Amino acid sequence: MSETTLTGGALPITIRDATKSYGAVFALDNVDLDVRSGEFMTLLGPSGSGKTTLLMVLAGFTRPDYGSVKFGEREIVRTPPHKRDVGMVFQNYALFPHMSVAANVAFPLKLRGVSKQEMVERTEQALETVQLAGYGERRIDQLSGGQRQRVALARAIVFEPRILLMDEPLSALDKKLREQMQIELRRLHDKLGMTTVYVTHDQREALTMSDRIAVINHGRVMQLGTPEEIYERPANRFVADFIGESTFLPVTVQQGVARFGDQSLKVAQMPEAGEDLLLMLRPERLQLITNDSEAADGEANRFEARVREMVYQGDSFLMYTVLENGTEISLRGMTRRDTVSTLPAIGDVIQLALHRDDTVLISAEEP
């Protein structure tokens, strides 16, 4: 494809063995990852896990020590950034503050030698796409944070790149605007259809926006899956801890019975004997059983606990409880009248019920 070609379908990305070290630190450690054509893929991980490094390898600003990156059939590891047909949005906008909105957006077209008239048309179209029609003559410093991020987005998509890369683009915005922009970005992706790789450290953002999520830690992909797979069936303790809130109970398996201490457990799937396992407990999957409330059905595991603290959070409440062995377990419930009217007091002994179908056992070994 020549540099001035502006149309083309979405492209899959194939990453093999991508490795990058800085001294003793492996920012990327043998990463294999396939991003499907037109997919919204999120790289999710804590600070320092290698997300930006991987995105920079895709953009062409970082050369991996070894490994292969293909856009479609084409190997691009040695291709310079401006020849990769990739649009980029960064956290800090990276706009030219002294130039107008239109001049910022038109910049990639200018680099690509697009004619004046086409430049004007495409710039207007891109501004319309990000809901900034009519803002072309404004200066960047006259815009709010959310508007600046929209300009950055317009600049990234104005040349219709086949791949869009975004590095924590919403993290400078306040919560409400961020949540609104998450939905907007996802809609825009669906409309334009380019392959998108999105970086965030915010698990809720990743769950909200993505077709699939690659959970990254120490430069390695810990798990790749849909939001539901990642949340419901985390592959290891790191993923279970990083996505959502959980507590873990140690579980042993002997003679076909899974046990927590001397309590036998009803589990959805019986694991192999001999493994050291953890039962994952999510606060919203536990049911509160008090003397007044109905008993849990026979398919539930029950854990006796003492109520230590209650936190009111508007739409829901969080109850901190302690098992006899000292393990702290939290339970979340909605603040509906029927649930709130039967809430126990601090110090009360209650039962936490976990249905068989909600049991998730994960390996206790660190990945």
Q: Does 84 contact ligand ADP by CB under 6 A?
A: no
How far is residue 259's CA from residue 263's CA, in Å, rounded to a whole number? 5
Q: Binding to ligand ADP (CB under 6 A): which residues in 285-344?
A: none
Nearer to ligand ADP, 26 or 107 (CB): 26
Residue 103 to residues 74, 125, 146, 225, 298: CA-CA distances in angstroms?
32, 14, 18, 40, 67
Instruction: Give the range of 48-56, 156-164, 268-276, 320-328 binding Mg ion by CB under 5 A.
Output: 48-56
Helix (H, G, I), strand (E, B) or coil at 46: coil
* Residues 262, 264, 268, 274, Cα dihedral to 10°: 60
325 binds, among ligand ADP, Mg ion, none (CB under 5 to 8 A by kind): none
Q: Does 91 contact Mg ion by CB under 5 A?
A: no
Spatial CB neighbours of 241, under 8 Å, sequence gap ≥ 6? none
Q: Does 52 contact Mg ion by CB under 5 A?
A: yes
Is 13 in contact with 35 (CB distance < 8 Å)?
yes
Q: Name the residue among 189, 182, 243 with its Cα closest to residue 40.
A: 189
Nearer to Mg ion, 52 or 359 (CB): 52
Query: Total number of residues binding ligand ADP (CB under 6 A)?
Result: 11
Nearer to ligand ADP, 51 or 84 (CB): 51
Helix H or strand E segment including 110: helix 101-111
Binding string, residues 1-40; x marks residues near ligand ADP by CB under 6 A: ---------------------x--x-x-------------
236 binds, among Mg ion, ligand ADP, none (CB under 5 to 8 A by kind): none
Is 133 in contact with 127 (CB distance < 8 Å)?
yes
How far is residue 339's CA from residue 255's CA, in Å, rounded to a whole number? 39
Residue 55: CB minimum distance to Mg ion, A: 8
Q: Which residues bind Mg ion (CB under 5 A)?
A: 52
Q: Which residues bind ligand ADP (CB under 6 A)?
A: 22, 25, 27, 45, 47-53
